[in-house]
A = this chain, B = another copy of it.
Amino acid sequence: MENLLTRIINENKKYTNLGNVADYIPELKKANKEDLGVYIYTTDNEEYFAGDYNKKFSIQSISKIVTLMLALIENGEEYVFEKVGVEPTADSFNSIVSLETKNFHKPLNPMINSGAIAVISMISENKDEEPIDRILKFIRKITDNQDININEKIYLSEKETGHRNRALSYFMKSTNILEKNVEEVLDTYFKACSIEVTCKDIAKIASVLANGGILPWSKEKIIPRKVTRIIKTIMVTCGMYDASGEFAVSVGVPSKSGVGGGILSSVPSRMGIGVYGPALDSKGNSIGGIKVLEELSERLDLSIF
């Protein structure tokens, strides 16, 4: 297996030259464009890896599934989907058009920025814990990694430049989708996007989803089965930005990408996969990462279809 992974990494490394690292904030530009790594964590607790699997990167949009899980666990399906839809869209992740023109101003789904911001506003707080503390606690649990933390530089950079997200948020404030203070919600959002992970971390999150919400390493039930099914469904229909449909055809595995270069893929009942490659294609997905997943899917017959 590791031979296979190593070969796949080596053979697909060349594609990283066809992409570009995210450049909207300076910190992301520092990534090494040629990095490419993969980590597999099976529901039987087997682990396989190759390439730059231990590089740290910011989780970015992959956080959207983490915060959605937490919001669903805390509030239930009905509450969450009262404010955010589950329909895929051909618009880009930061588009504001559909907030004005469609779905009665509800964000179309929780994988576009507006939807994720609305979702994050539902995560509760109490006097000892800010929402971001709850998110960190949760992600440390589902990765079995207590060292996970926020990359402060990336967070500050996101916060400083996140005007499009402010536009989305104030729009939702004006239509009562967002009820809390905008800057506070965004602060949590920017922090959640800046969480630093490795391929292993996201592979383990994916393995929990693959395992129906039970931590494979401790057999502890953490997430209701229904929630893991919702998450995997939304990953298929909306997880790869506006290339989700194409990815579903070519790979067929519930996945979520982030502009930090990560892709989290969950093969139901079998395994979680974490891929990292910061060179992105025009849609914002890891260009090498998609190649790796295409080949893995074919070799290991991973497609759910």
Residues of A within 8 A of B (CB): 85-91, 95-103, 108-109, 163-164, 166-171, 173-174, 182, 229-230, 232-234, 236-238, 242-246, 248-249, 252, 254, 268, 303-305
Nearest-neighbour CB distance to chain B for A107, whole angstroms, equals 11
Whether A229 contacts B245 by the Cβ 8 Å rule is: no
- Find the B residue at minimum CB distance from A242: B87
14 contacts between A and B (CB under 8 A): A85-B245, A89-B90, A90-B98, A90-B103, A95-B100, A96-B99, A97-B97, A109-B245, A164-B170, A167-B171, A229-B252, A233-B249, A237-B237, A304-B304
Contact residue among B163, B242, B254 (Cβ-Cβ distance under 8 Å from A171)? B163
Whether B248 contacts A237 by the Cβ 8 Å rule is: yes
Q: How far is the CA of A242 from the CA of B304 in the complex (A)?
A: 22
Chain B residues near A163: list those with CB within 8 A: 170-171, 173-174, 182
Nearest-neighbour CB distance to chain B for A190, whole angstroms, equals 14
Chain B residues near A242: list those with CB within 8 A: 87
Q: How far is the CA of A35 from the CA of B24 in the complex (A)?
A: 48
Q: How far is the CA of A187 from the CA of B98 in the complex (A)?
A: 28
Chain B residues near A248: list those with CB within 8 A: 86, 233, 236-237
Chain B residues near A238: list those with CB within 8 A: 245
Whether B170 contacts A174 by the Cβ 8 Å rule is: no
Whether B233 contacts A268 by the Cβ 8 Å rule is: no
Contact residue among B98, B109, B171, B304 (Cβ-Cβ distance under 8 Å from A268)? B304
Chain B residues near A174: list those with CB within 8 A: 163-164, 166-167
Contact residue among B97, B100, B305 (Cβ-Cβ distance under 8 Å from A254)? B305
Nearest-neighbour CB distance to chain B for A87, whole angstroms, equals 4
Q: How far is the CA of A181 from the CA of B249 in the complex (A)?
A: 31
The 10 closest A-B pairs by CB, nearest first: A88-B88, A163-B174, A166-B170, A167-B171, A167-B170, A87-B245, A164-B174, A86-B245, A163-B173, A232-B305
Q: How far is the CA of A169 from the CA of B171 in the complex (A)?
A: 11
Chain B residues near A252: list those with CB within 8 A: 229, 233
Which of A167, A174, A243, A244 has most B Cβ within 10 Å? Answer: A167
Whether B98 contacts A96 by the Cβ 8 Å rule is: no
Whether A246 contacts B108 by the Cβ 8 Å rule is: no
- Find the B residue at minimum CB distance from A241: B87
Chain B residues near A100: list those with CB within 8 A: 95-97
- Find the B residue at minimum CB distance from A86: B245
Q: How far is the CA of A236 from the CA of B232 in the complex (A)?
A: 12
Whether A86 contacts B237 by the Cβ 8 Å rule is: no
Q: How far is the CA of A88 from the CA of B182 in the complex (A)?
A: 30
